[in-house]
């Protein structure tokens, strides 16, 4: 029976996705060898093949993205982030793990972000980077420019969902803080993690990092950032992330960056063909039907959705509609729908846009 076979394939993919998800979740509850064998960023199993096995990777609302002027919209309601519990005691121990595609520090539930639409509780942080010959490994880019590396601090919506697993496929499931890393002076705070790399060189190895003030890893200005709705940047690429990308980078020394680029391996200690852990960043994704909101003024920010408002061009104010289909996309999580096209390319919901006296400045009403 063809349908039955197809359903079984989808079920297998769903289970594979859940296993992989523990990369951002409670990895310690799973043996690393079962995780994400297909998760590589280049080669025959590279990111271009992800959609074949993880349909959301080929869908909408994907991350990372390039942050450039014609998708940006200033939003005066974006407040400085309030980080609670980030200042940890040195007697706390944080688990450090090489999971085969990044180096990850587990974070306690006492750390959370207070002033987002929900309370988002920390679960882990990890890094993305390039290689020693091309130290341009950030995931997000600004005007096409990569930074040397990027730190992600992953939080889940603990107000609505009981744990990371329950939050993972919900549109408001995650909030991730993204911090650009650039070459500059030696950074003693990052060294509190980097100094342990020798103990987690190979996949599956674990170490302990004494607690410190995690906020030291962030830029000083918590009030200047980009905000948009996107996805996990690794399979299963669920569009479940409220992204905050800080405007200003933090700096680490050339030697520290080199340690990040050369110390770690994707492979296990006993693997006869060791594989360096490099270039573990996803390339920027299409950015349609979305805006990036910015908390700071940066010149004249045009409204991307102006193309939907053409009929109103001659007016100085008015209302028009533009389509979104994120809610529809989540219906694809229902396996019974998966035998059809996973992301129905139909626009099911309309949002109002008010065009102010300056036609370049649009504002969402709903
Ligand atoms: Zn990441």
Catalytic residues: 101
Whether 43 maps to a domain, the answer reads no
Closest CA to 265 of 187, 210, 208, 199: 199
Tokens 């996990």 belong to 232
Q: How far is the CA of 184 from the centre of ligand 1 (A)?
A: 22
The pair of three-digit structure tokens given for residue 139, joined into one six-digit string:
């995931």
Whether 17 maps to a domain, the answer reads no
Tell me the pLDDT of the chain averaged across its residues. 77
Provide the domain count of the chain: 1
Whether 185 maps to a domain, the answer reads yes
Closest CA to 74 of 224, 187, 281: 224
Q: How far is the CA of 244 from the centre of ligand 1 (A)?
A: 12
Q: How far is the CA of 235 from the centre of ligand 1 (A)?
A: 11
Burial (0-12, 13-18, 19+ Cβ within 10 Å), 226: buried
Q: What's the sign of the alpha-carbon dihedral 182, 184, 190, 196? A: positive
Closest CA to 234 of 11, 74, 23, 55: 23
Range of the domain at 170: 76-294
Whether 310 maps to a domain, the answer reads no
Closest CA to 352 of 317, 315, 326, 323: 323
Q: How far is the CA of 307 from the centre of ligand 1 (A)?
A: 32
Whether 82 maps to a domain, the answer reads yes
The pair of three-digit structure tokens given for residue 350, joined into one six-digit string:
């309309």
* Phi, psi (degrees; rounded to nearest 5) at 12: -60, -40
pLDDT tens digits, residue range 10-47? 333 333 333 333 333 333 332 222 223 335 666 666 89
The pair of three-digit structure tokens given for residue 124, joined into one six-digit string:
């882990």
* Weakest-pLDDT range from 50-54, 96-100, 176-180: 50-54
* 328 three-state secondary structure: helix
Predicted local confidence at residue 287, as pLDDT: 84
* Weakest-pLDDT range from 108-122, 164-178, 216-230, 349-363: 349-363
Tell me how crowded residue 1 is: count the other CB atoms within 10 A of its CB: 6
Q: How far is the CA of 156 from the centre of ligand 1 (A)?
A: 14
**pTM (predicted TM-score):** 0.76
Question: What's the mean pLDDT in 218-238?
Answer: 94
Residues 20-29 as b/e (b if ≥16 CB within 10 A, e otherwise) read bbbbbbebee
CA separation for the pair 91, 301 (Å, rounded): 47
pLDDT tens digits, residue range 104-139? 999 999 999 999 999 999 999 999 999 999 999 999
DSSP character string of 266-327: SS-TT-SS--B-----PPP----S--EEESS--S----GGGGGGGGGTTSSSEEEEEEE-HH
CA separation for the pair 306, 358 (Å, rounded): 12
Q: Say which residue, 316 or 64, is predicted with more confidence.
A: 64
Q: How far is the CA of 63 from the centre of ligand 1 (A)?
A: 10
Tell me how crowded residue 132 is: count the other CB atoms within 10 A of its CB: 13
Whether 127 maps to a domain, the answer reads yes
Q: How far is the CA of 305 from the centre of ligand 1 (A)?
A: 28
Contact 128, 64 (CB under 8 A): no
Predicted local confidence at residue 291, as pLDDT: 82
Residue 351 pLDDT more than 90?
no
Tokens 């996805």 belong to 231
Which helix or strand (DSSP H or E) is residue 113 part of?
strand 112-113
DSSP state, residue 51: H
Q: How far is the CA of 311 from the centre of ligand 1 (A)?
A: 41
Whether 242 maps to a domain, the answer reads yes
Give the domain CATH number at 186: 3.10.200.10
Question: What's the mean pLDDT in 135-161?
Answer: 96
Whether 216 maps to a domain, the answer reads yes
């Amino acid at each position: 029976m063809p349908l039955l076979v197809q359903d079984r394939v989808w079920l297998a993919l769903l289970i594979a996705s859940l296993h992989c998800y523990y990369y951002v979740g409670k990895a310690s509850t799973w043996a690393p060898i079962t995780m994400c064998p297909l998760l590589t960023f280049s080669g025959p199993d590279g990111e271009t093949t992800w959609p074949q096995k993880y349909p959301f990777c080929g869908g909408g609302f994907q991350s990372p993205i390039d942050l450039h002027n014609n998708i940006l919209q200033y939003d005066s309601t974006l407040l400085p982030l309030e980080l609670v519990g980030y200042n940890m005691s040195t007697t706390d121990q944080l688990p450090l793990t090489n999971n085969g595609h990044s180096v990850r520090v587990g974070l306690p539930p006492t750390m959370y972000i207070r002033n987002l639409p929900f309370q988002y509780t920390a679960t882990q942080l990890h890094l993305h980077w390039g290689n020693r010959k091309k130290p341009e490994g950030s995931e997000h880019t600004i005007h096409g420019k990569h930074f040397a590396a990027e730190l992600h601090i992953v939080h889940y919506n603990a107000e609505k969902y009981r744990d990371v697993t329950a939050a993972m496929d919900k549109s408001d499931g995650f909030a991730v803080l993204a911090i650009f890393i650039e070459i500059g002076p030696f950074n003693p705070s990052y060294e509190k993690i980097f100094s342990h790399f020798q103990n987690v060189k190979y996949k599956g190895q674990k170490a302990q990092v004494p607690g410190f003030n995690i906020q030291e890893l962030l830029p000083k200005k918590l009030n200047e950032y980009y905000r948009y709705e996107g996805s996990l940047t690794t399979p299963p690429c669920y569009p479940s992330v409220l992204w905050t990308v800080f405007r200003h980078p933090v700096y680490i020394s050339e030697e520290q960056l080199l340690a990040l680029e050369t110390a770690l391996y994707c492979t296990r200690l006993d693997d006869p063909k060791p594989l360096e852990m490099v270039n573990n960043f996803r390339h920027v994704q299409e950015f349609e039907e979305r805006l990036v909101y910015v908390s700071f003024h940066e010149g004249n920010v045009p409204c991307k959705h102006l193309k939907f408002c053409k009929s109103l061009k001659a007016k100085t104010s008015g209302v028009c509609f533009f389509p979104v289909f994120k809610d529809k996309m989540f219906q694809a999580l229902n396996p019974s729908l998966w035998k059809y096209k996973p992301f129905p390319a139909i626009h099911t919901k309309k949002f109002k846009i008010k065009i102010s006296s300056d036609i370049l400045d649009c504002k969402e009403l709903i």
